[in-house]
Structure 1
Amino acid sequence: MTPGISPRPRLRLAAAAICSLLLLSGCAAAAQNKPNTSYADGEGPTVIGTDTSAESRVMAAMYAELLTRAGQKVEPAKTRYSSPSATAKAVVAGKLGLAPAYESTLLRTFPGGDTLPGNMPATLSMALPMGITALPPAAAQRGVVLAVSATTARRHDLHTLADLRKPGSRLTLGGSATSAPDAPTPASLKKAYGVTLTTAGTSATADVLALRSTDPSITKDKLVVLTDPEGVIPPEHIFPLIQAPYAGRAAREALARVNSALTTDQLAALASSVDAGKSPAEAARTWLKSKGLLS
């Protein structure tokens, strides 16, 4: 026994030391779990980010208009992200409060969650970490489609991907979205539809074009988009990816106003106008007013 210190005071000192260590450990853990920016606490404005595409920029502008009219404070991000995947990661990391996102891209970005066929909202919810919300999507998509010229469609009576069996193996596959991760391959088309396509040497010589659904050439060249009854091509509806602190009732109701009104053709037209030099804010405001969504 140490002289001058009775057993009871010594136990009290040991207990105090243990409590101090536990307190310090708790503080360290809290520091590690603290969001890496002030945007993640829901107290400041909703910081809205985009990728570099015209679709993302005009949708972000639309979200900003709707939230502002609903009395929410918003702020544009100081930088654009390189891809929809990078933007989604920025929301999850707390660098953004809100950004446009796409269904299948998000699932590739955050793999490992359970999949419920036919229930995309639940599948997205299981893929995302706690505190991040996938709000309901618009009707508009930016997914891959397969399209043919009006002449080719008439010649072979093409309406769906299954109809590509009619010309046999004479048709070739190409297009700007051929290498996209969600683009169908000749093998997947063969399996689902019994279709035999060969890869074209260049997109210019291809009979069947893999394009993004918002590609302006679809309208400009009057291409016929073939439907996909077997769902070989995954959906890419656009939706708001948002941090939970910013997803209150007013924000949800405001953002949901575009869902049924915005079609793929309209999103393509909006993107084309932005590519032609119109500001995303002007394009978004004009469209919202034309649909009666802004007072």
Structure 2
Amino acid sequence: MAPNGNGRIRILAACLTAIPVVALTAACGVDTSSRTGGSVGSGPVVVGAADTIESELVARLYAGALGANGTATELVLGLGDQADRLAALDGNRVSLVPEHTGRLLHRFDSAAEVTEEEDVYDALSRSLPEGLSVSEYAPADDRSALVLTEEQADVLGASSVADLAPRCSTLTLYASEDFAADAGALDRLQSLYGCTFAEVVPAGSPAAGTRELAAGASPVHGTTAADSVVAQDELVVLTDEEGAFTAQNVVPLFRSGVLTADDIRSLSVILQLSTADLTAMAARVRDGELSSADAAAAWLEEHV
């Protein structure tokens, strides 16, 4: 399915402050409440979020951008994994959810082998089932990555996957769930770099795995680029020149016909969202410096 609209039109709106604990937002503001059930009709655009800080932040950015354009929005938090989010869309309980291009592509086309941003987006647009649409993706990219501590990187002389490849057969990879979700990544590491790890061990959440790595408990960690702990702990993310890892750009997935052309144009402000922006906001929220609503409102105020 072709994407619904494009363009990088900046939204000029004066009101972006989050409105605390309300059921609906109209004209401006970001809903901080959550609810379950109900259905989408001719009322507000219902923006859903997974149960992660990053997903909630992006959902609030989408809701805030729509609200700044005069569109009433409602926010539903804690939708769970991708299957839960798709079920919420299919059940007409939400109108729009933040997703990642590569993971969504592999959901609808498990045989897809493309990894570059534009190729992944084009393949995703073609693979979407009837009734679902996407608009343009943001630069924020949560693709898989191999990570070392600075000390390990120095010892191994590695700043890229190519540098690490000759040593892979002697190393254990601790792979987070999000890293493992990149279908075919390990096969591509082998075919593109000749890198086959001696052992691949599940590491649970990205945050748990990178903290373990920072403590020196594991030699190589497979995580994702938007894992905020990577930036906090000053770990070394190995560059992937050959494209072994699938692009995972932030993209809005929505029910076809729910958004107007103006709504879609209003989402263009999120095209300024970078991986660094998202990880920095998530780190501040995770550390209790500010709420996700305040972080989203501040970002929108700066970029609208």
TM-score by length of 1: 0.75
1:8-62: CA deviations, max 9, x gaps?
Answer: xxxxxxxxxxxxxxxxxxxxxxxxxxxx9751x5x21101111101111011111
Amino acid at match of 2:233: D
**By how many angstroms is 1:272 displaced?**
1.9
Contact between 1:114 and 1:127, CA under 8 Å: does it hold in 2? Answer: no
Cα distance, 1:109 vs structure 2? 2.9
Partners of 2:220 and 2:113 lie apart in 1 by 31
Matches within 5 A, 1:128-207: 128-167=128-167, 169-177=169-177, 180-182=180-182, 187-199=187-199, 204=212, 205-207=217-219
In structure 2, relative to structure 1, the CA distance for the partners of 1:226 and 1:112 (3 Å cut) is closer
Report which stretch shifted further, 194-203 or 66-75. 194-203
Contact 1:54–1:272 (8 Å) recurs in 2: no
Partner of 2:231: 219
In the TM superposition, residue 192 of structure 1 has moved relative to its aligned partner by 1.8
Contact map agreement 2:99 2:250 (CA 8 A) in 1: yes
* Aligned amino acid, residue 160 of structure 2: T
Check if 1:266 corresponds to 2:264. Answer: no
- 1:244: how far off? 2.4
2:88 counterpart SS class? helix
Answering whether residue 292 of structure 2 is matched by residue 283 of structure 1, we say no
Deviation at 1:219, TM superposition (A): 1.4
2:100 maps to 1:89: no
Q: Distance in 1 between matches of 2:71 and 2:50?
A: 22
8 Å contact 1:113–1:123 — kept in the other structure?
Answer: no
- CA distance, structure 1, for counterparts of residue 191 and residue 132 of structure 2: 36
Q: C-alpha root-mean-square deviation of aligned residues, in Å?
A: 2.8
Identity, in percent, stands at: 28
The equivalent residue for 1:249 is 261
Q: After alignment, is 191-200 or 109-118 more displaced?
A: 109-118
Q: Distance in 2 between matches of 1:185 and 1:119?
A: 16
1:112 touches 1:127 (CA, 8 Å); kept in 2?
A: no
CA distance in 1, matches of 2:286, 2:233: 17
Q: Does 1:234 align with 2:246?
A: yes
For residue 255 of structure 1, report the CA deviation from its aligned partner: 0.7
**Secondary structure of 1:245 counterpart:** coil
Larger relative helix fraction: 1
Distance 1:95 1:146 in 2: 37
| 1:112 to 1:216, Cα distance in 2 relative to 1, 3 A | closer
CA contact (8 A) 2:190 2:196 kept: yes
Matched, 1:100 2:124: no
Q: Which runs of 5+ in 1 are unaligned?
A: 1-35
The structure whose RCO (Cα within 8 Å, separation 6+) is larger is: 2
Q: For residue 28 of structure 1, what is the aligned residue in structure 2? A: none
The 1:206–1:107 alpha-carbon spacing in structure 2 relative to 1, beyond 3 Å, is same
Pair 1:126 & 2:126 matched: yes
Structure 1 residues 77-118: Cα deviation after superposition (integer angstroms, max 9, x where no partner) = 2x5211133213322442211110111221233347988775
- Secondary structure, aligned partner of 1:75: strand
After TM superposition, give the deviation of residue 133 of structure 1 in Å: 0.9
User: What number of residue pairs does the alignment pair up?
Assistant: 253
C-alpha contact 1:144 1:177 (8 A) present in aligned 2: no
The structure with the larger Rg is: 1
DSSP-derived class of the 1:271 partner: helix
**Does the 8 A contact of 1:85 with 1:105 survive in 2?**
no
The verdict on how the C-alpha distance between 1:157 and 1:116 changes in structure 2, with shifts beyond 3 A counting, is closer
SS across alignment from 1:242: strand
Q: Report the AA paired with residue 141 of structure 1.
A: D
AA of the residue aligned to 1:89: A
Moved more, 49-58 or 211-220: 211-220
What is the letter of the counterpart of residue 176 of structure 2? S
C-alpha deviation, 1:287, in angstroms? 1.6
